[in-house]
Amino acid sequence: MKQKPNAIVAQSGGPTAVINASACGVIQTAMKSGKIDRVLGATNGILGVLTEDLFDITAESSETIDALKQTPAAAIGSCRYKLKSLEENRADYQRILDVFKAHNIHYFFYAGGNDSMDTADKVNKLASDSGYELVCMGVPKTIDNDLAYTDHCPGYGSVAKYVATCAMEAGKDTEALYTTDTCTILEVMGRNAGWIAAAAGLAARVEEDAPHLVYVPEVAFTLEKFVSDVKEVLKKFGRVFIVAGEGLKNEDGTYITADAGAFAKDSFGHQQLGGVAEVLKEVVEKEAGIKARFNKLGTNQRSAMHFASRTDVDEAYLCGQKAVEAALAGENGKMVTLIRESNEPYKCSTGLAPLYDVANGEKMMPSEYINKKGNHITQAMRDYVCPLVQGEAPIKVAVDGLPVFMRFDRKPLDKKLPKFI
Amino acid sequence: MKQKPNAIVAQSGGPTAVINASACGVIQTAMKSGKIDRVLGATNGILGVLTEDLFDITAESSETIDALKQTPAAAIGSCRYKLKSLEENRADYQRILDVFKAHNIHYFFYAGGNDSMDTADKVNKLASDSGYELVCMGVPKTIDNDLAYTDHCPGYGSVAKYVATCAMEAGKDTEALYTTDTCTILEVMGRNAGWIAAAAGLAARVEEDAPHLVYVPEVAFTLEKFVSDVKEVLKKFGRVFIVAGEGLKNEDGTYITADAGAFAKDSFGHQQLGGVAEVLKEVVEKEAGIKARFNKLGTNQRSAMHFASRTDVDEAYLCGQKAVEAALAGENGKMVTLIRESNEPYKCSTGLAPLYDVANGEKMMPSEYINKKGNHITQAMRDYVCPLVQGEAPIKVAVDGLPVFMRFDRKPLDKKLPKFI
């Protein structure tokens, strides 16, 4: 009797509140299928494959695996290791196949953004070229919501719910204390796309509500326009609450703040951002003569499990589940996509898109989601994002009053190959 | 028949998640008592009294008043206006009494920190000296938890629960992505006292958990010690998560970062802080050679109603209620205090302390709450804070998936006096 194949599940890039829910969907579906022997975790994404740092998730308790749904960030471990092209770095790809072969791995489930889909696609091609039977499936993940071919990305709904709530709450703070603390700037993530900043715009149900101004990287930022916007809001409400995406750009496409430090670029070569809020704070204080302060949620926005969107968690799980189901049904080289069947009532199904296409696409915000002045969102954006922030994910709280998150026991598999890196 | 007296309720200083719950306790208790005609709100604390900007809270809907319990920040409006001494600024105090007289106000309920208790105390003394029948009662409020004569302050439990949860969540993020994003610094509030930073320490249930290092203003900060601490953690876990109070000080008592900008001091003359995280990030990158990032929760930590402590909300309400009950029972010039009757099970009752004493006290963290190395908390701190973060306050969510907060209709009372400021 032929031994059943093993599957590997890995996570890549910036963590989210729900990437573990996707992993849970993969693991539980694979374990229930009867067609897969063991589900292995690759510690720190593709890095763990390269270094053969694998552990047997099937050996973890069912409680631990189930608790993935309530645990933020990437429990298997993530990385920002970007593989070069097949031509430039065939050795890496070959090593991945060698590790797969050594551990009887014939299914590779990779949760990540477009860089990860690119990796999965290339591994898949090499396997195919060399005649190794491998199924590579992508599971979409990015808070940035900028993946093409999917209506939205798991991870986005939760960050959207959280930043909008934070804008609402800090907005109430500014409203209460505007006589001295007149301006608050909330800096949110989003390197190229303004999806997160735009979601914070939801908080403004009426004009008086925070945020009064929302700036996204899709709209060129000019100082004159900004100062004029700020003064207009101040005249009307005596206070101003601003949401700014970290990737705001000047008209010439350069970032409005360029960090020249030693770690200005991450290992994917992406410019490391931050400092937008500080820049805007200085401008407001100087040009409007009022005190400004800023909140920078940083990694707390992408890990805010304590107020995650239930819709997002459920869809993240579904994406993992569907990746396995599609793989077992004979699909290969595809990423699961989310398809919005209808908006009222909201109905969402899943589809599949080629990894190659996803890897080479990017979804910017449609211009009709941003108002004509380029400083807030439109009703169309509200209609798009509201269904994604529905419901609160259940959260387990311990006797100490704080959430309970899981951590794998992570018993490492014996290494079968020589050291690689 | 003599007209029943009116009461005024006002809020001061930095908002919290539960200062409105205290206001709700005052308002509902006063309205139910049958001894008070109308409860008036002073828009923006004592400023609203000085400018005679008052509104009739009794005229608001009972739903609006009840929703105070679920709304963060200061719905009546807050301020940072500090009155000088009676000798230096008798005119201000006299004006307050004039406004009280003009509107038949004989009860003054003031929620705030020690500056506010000082104001209430001085107004009370002037009233007494001038023979005006007035009862001034203080309601404790400060996320900083540094008020004397009370076991803890309403507002602290919620910020404690939130920052600990944030440390836990962002800690999971760092744990997932440590191969590139090796260090995360979480900057939290706390000008002089480390209560908030210490609460974040709760997140570390085991040594591997974030935060690995917790720095409070009570312990003099030295660069050498810090770098050595960071390197030790890195050696052990390959990553480091740091919680830093905004008010960290050098051995000579100066802040480790001094903001020299135009708004470096607030109108109470307090040094405006911020930038601690940036300083530490630079040190870590330079001295340990790893990438560091920081999260600065800012005003989001004190307004995080969406994960507020139920215990805190209930106790905040209780403080408001008890202030009114004590006032109607003949007490005057006192602030309601919280008394911890027992810890297991946690039982809390209320007491009263003279406004003057509270105004002139400050409660620092006991040294036994900080470990010997000065870089984390002890079990004694856990025992102190755990009961305060128990339970999650109920939160109403609208059809758009986001919280619902109230806003007063705020119909202004006719002004009866000439303009003052």
Q: For B178-215, write each residue's pLDDT tens digit.
A: 999 999 999 999 988 999 999 999 999 999 999 999 99
Catalytic residue among B144, B151, B229, B312: B144
Measuring CA to CA, which residue among B303, B276, B295 is closest to residue B162? Answer: B303
Q: Which residue of A has its CA nearest to B286?
A: A262
Q: What residues have CB less than 8 Å from A361, skipping those under 6 apart?
A: A114, A147, A148, A149
Residue A149 within a domain: no
- Reported ipTM: the value is 0.96
Residue A42 within a domain: yes
Using a CB–CB cutoff of 8 Å, tell me whether B294 touches chain A.
Answer: yes
Residue B400 within a domain: no
Measured N-to-C along each axis, helices B114-129 and B90-102 cross at an angle, to the nearest 10 degrees, of: 70
Q: Which of residues 124-163 of B touch A (CB under 8 A)?
A: 161
Q: Which of residues 309-368 of B touch A (CB under 8 A)?
A: 309
How many CB atoms lie under 10 A from the CB of residue B348?
18
| A204 shares a domain with A62 | no
What angle (nearest 5°) sits at the alpha carbon of residue A55, between those of residues A17 and B203? 40
* pLDDT tens track for A332-383: 999 999 999 999 999 999 999 999 999 999 898 999 999 999 999 999 999 9
What angle (nearest 5°) sits at the alpha carbon of residue A364, between those of residues A362 and A370? 175
Contacts of A191 in chain B (CB under 8 A): none
Two structure tokens written together for B14: 């930095």
CA dihedral B81, B86, B89, B95 (to 10 degrees): 80
Cα separations in angstroms, A350 against A20, A389, B94: 19, 18, 70
The strands making up A39-42's β-sheet, listed across from edge to edge, are A54-56, A39-42, A6-11, A105-112, A135-140, A334-343, A346-354
Two structure tokens written together for B267: 């109108």
The H or E element containing residue A74 is none
Measuring CA to CA, which residue among A21, A117, A28, A19 is closest to residue A7? Answer: A28
| B281 shares a domain with B172 | yes
Specify the 3-state DSSP secondary structure of B312: helix
Tokens 């008020």, residue located? B147
Residue B250 within a domain: yes
* pLDDT tens track for A18-40: 999 999 999 999 999 999 999 99
Residue A268 within a domain: yes
- What's the Rg (C-alpha) of chain A? 22
Cα separations in angstroms, B139 against A216, A320, B316: 42, 51, 9
Give me the number of domains chain B comprises. Answer: 2
* pLDDT tens track for A268-290: 455 544 489 988 998 999 999 99
Output helix, strand, coil percentages for chain A, rounded to the nearest 5.
Answer: 40, 20, 40
Q: Which of residues 9-28 of B touch A (CB under 8 A)?
A: 11, 14-15
Specify the 3-state DSSP secondary structure of A183: strand
Measuring CA to CA, which residue among A79, A101, A102 is closest to residue A10? Answer: A79
Identity of residue B104: N
Output helix, strand, coil percentages for chain B, rounded to the nearest 5.
Answer: 40, 20, 45
**Which is more confident, B81 or B166?**
B166
| A115 shares a domain with A207 | no
Mean pLDDT across B128-157: 97
Find out whether A160 and A385 touch, Cβ atoms under 8 Å. Answer: yes
| B211 shares a domain with B87 | no
Residue B271 within a domain: yes
* pLDDT tens track for B281-301: 989 999 999 999 999 999 999
Specify the 3-state DSSP secondary structure of B245: strand
Residue B199 within a domain: yes
Using the 8-state DSSP alphabet, how is residue A86 labeled?
Answer: T
| B311 shares a domain with B277 | no
* pLDDT tens track for A170-221: 999 999 999 999 999 999 999 889 999 999 999 999 999 999 999 999 999 9
In chain B, % of residues over pLDDT 90: 89
A306/B285 Cβ within 8 A: no
Identity of residue A140: P
List residues of A with catalytic annotation: 144
- The range of the structural domain enclosing residue A19 comes to 6-142+306-360
The H or E element containing residue A87 is none
Residue A179 within a domain: yes
Residue A346, CB half-sphere, CA atoms under 13 Å: how many? 17
Using the 8-state DSSP alphabet, how is residue B364 labeled?
Answer: P
| B297 shares a domain with B327 | no
Q: What is the CATH number of the domain that holds A160?
A: 3.40.50.460
Tokens 């997932």, residue located? B176
The alpha carbon of residue A381 and the mean position of all alpha carbons in its chain are separated, in whole angstroms, by: 19
| B248 shares a domain with B99 | no
Q: Which of residues 365-404 of B touch A (CB under 8 A)?
A: 382, 386, 388-392, 397, 400-403
Quick check: A267 pLDDT over 90?
no
- B329, exposed or middle or buried, with CB in 10 Å at 0-12, 13-18, 19+? exposed
A405/B168 Cβ within 8 A: yes
| B177 shares a domain with B314 | no
Using a CB–CB cutoff of 8 Å, tell me whether B410 touches chain A.
Answer: no
Using a CB–CB cutoff of 8 Å, tell me whether B77 touches chain A.
Answer: yes
| B177 shares a domain with B325 | no
Give the model's confidence band at B275: pLDDT under 50 very low, under 70 low, under 90 confident, else very high: confident
Mean pLDDT for chain A?
94
| B289 shares a domain with B237 | yes
Find out whether B184 and B213 touch, Cβ atoms under 8 Å. Answer: no
| A293 shares a domain with A205 | yes
Find out whether A134 and A141 touch, Cβ atoms under 8 Å. Answer: no
Mean pLDDT across A139-151: 96
Note the pLDDT of residue B192: 86
Two structure tokens written together for A157: 């709904």
Give strand pairing partners of A54. A42
Note the pLDDT of residue B211: 98
A405/B386 Cβ within 8 A: no
Q: What is the CATH number of the domain that holds A39?
A: 3.40.50.450
A293/B299 Cβ within 8 A: yes
Tokens 């908002």, residue located? B15
| A172 shares a domain with A138 | no
C-alpha–C-alpha distance, residues B183 and A336, integer Å: 33
C-alpha–C-alpha distance, residues B272 and B191, integer Å: 9
